Amino acid sequence: SFGSLNTTQTSQDAGVLTSQDAAEKLTFRALVAKQLAQSKEDQLVMARKREELSTFKLRARLQDMQEEIWRLQREVVDREHDLQHKDEYIEELKMEIKGLKFQMGALRSKREGGDEKGARNFQDLKDYYDRRCAQLKGKYEKAWENTKKKHDVMAYKVTQIRSSHTLLYSECRSNFNSLMEIISTGLSTLTDKVLDIDMAWGGTDEQVTFLEGFMQQTVGAYNHLVGVTPFV
C-alpha cells in the first residue's frame, strides 16, 4: 500500500509546508496518478479495438481465400468428370479404329486375290480412314492440351492462395506480438510510475485501492487477450 506523507503544522516563516499545503499537494499527486492510470487504460482499450479490427479483417480475408479454394476444388472435380468422359470417348474411338482395321484387312485380302475393283475400293477406304484417324487424333490432342492448361491455371491459383495465406498469417502474428510487447512494456512502466508516486508523495487508502484494482484489471485484460489469440 501507499505510504502516507507525515507533516506537522509549523509556521510559514520557518520555510516548511503546513498540513493544509501538504494535503493539497497530496490531492494533486493523487489526481495525477489517477489520470495516468486512466490514460493507460484508454490506451489499452484502443489497442484492443485496433487488434479486434485487424482480426476481423484477417478472418474476412481467410474466408475469401477458403471460398476461392472451394470454388477451385469444385472446378477440379468438374474437370475430372470431363476427363473421364473424354477417356470414355477415346475408348470408343479405339474400338472404332479396331473395327476399321478389321475391314481394311478384309479388303486387303481381296486386293491380294487380284480383284482390281476391290483394290481401288480398298485404297479409297484407306485414304478416308487415314484422314478420319488424323482428325480424331487432332481432336484428342487438342482436348488434352486444353485440359492440361486449365489444370495448370488452377494449380497456380491454389499455390498463390496458400502463399498469401501463409504470408498474411505471418504478418498478423508479427504485428500482434509487437502490440503485446508494447502493452506489456506500458503496464510495466505504469507499475513503476505508480510505485514512484507511492514512495514520493504518499496516498490515501482509497487511492491505493483504486490503483491496485486498476492494475489487476489491466493485467487481467492483457492476459485474456493473449490467451484468446492464436498467434502467440
What is the number of alpha carbons within 13 Å of residue 178 lying toward its C-beta? 6
By the 8 A CB rule, do 198 and 3 touch? Answer: yes
Residue with cell 493485467: 219
Which of 15-24, 42-51, 91-100, 129-138 is the least confident region? 15-24
In this predicted structure, what is the pLDDT of residue 202?
52
pLDDT at 9 over 50: no
Provide the grid cell at 88.
470414355
Note the helical H segments in 113-204.
Answer: 116-201
Q: Please provide the average confidence, as pLDDT, over all residues in the chain.
A: 68
Q: What is the dihedral of CA 59, 169, 53, 38, to 10 degrees?
A: 140
pLDDT at 8 over 70: no
Local confidence band at 12 (pLDDT 50, 70, 90 cut-offs): very low
